[in-house]
Amino acid sequence: EAGVTQSPTHLIKTRGQQATLRCSPISGHTSVYWYQQALGLGLQFLLWYDEGEERNRGNFPPRFSGRQFPNYSSELNVNALELEDSALYLCASSLAGGSVRPNTEAFFGQGTRLTVV
């Protein structure tokens, strides 16, 4: 069974440009999560999508946005890139959780390393 796949694996952009990162969840998973792993800052929750809707977002500016498609894959868009956006962006997927499956596990992809120069 295929795991969570992310593309591209590496992305180099210039300050001010836009970056688009993609994530395909495990088959059958409807929830997708995005995390930022910046050097020295650990892993920070960015966004959570479930059934095509944004359910929650972390403490990030509006230039970080995304969407989830009908096939449950997801895109993360980062506009007006800044140098400090350079990080590893990890996507995770899970079965729908909340009160339905409170202890369901999230599976992570290998990440997209974004470098802003």
Given the complex with another protein, which of 66 and 111 has the nearer CB atom? 111
The contact mask relative to another protein for 14-33 (x = CB under 8 A, - = no) is -----------------x-x
**Alpha-carbon span 88 to 37, nearest angstrom:** 5
Rule CB under 8 A: say whether 62 interacts with another protein.
Answer: no
- Of 20, 6, 27, 10, nearest to 90 by C-alpha is 6
Least Å distance, CB 110 to another protein, is: 4
**Alpha-carbon span 59 to 25, nearest angstrom:** 23
**Alpha-carbon span 60 to 58, nearest angstrom:** 6
The contact mask relative to another protein for 72-91 (x = CB under 8 A, - = no) is ------------------x-
Q: Please select the residue that binds another protein; options are 92, 114, 115, 117, rule is CB under 8 A.
A: 92
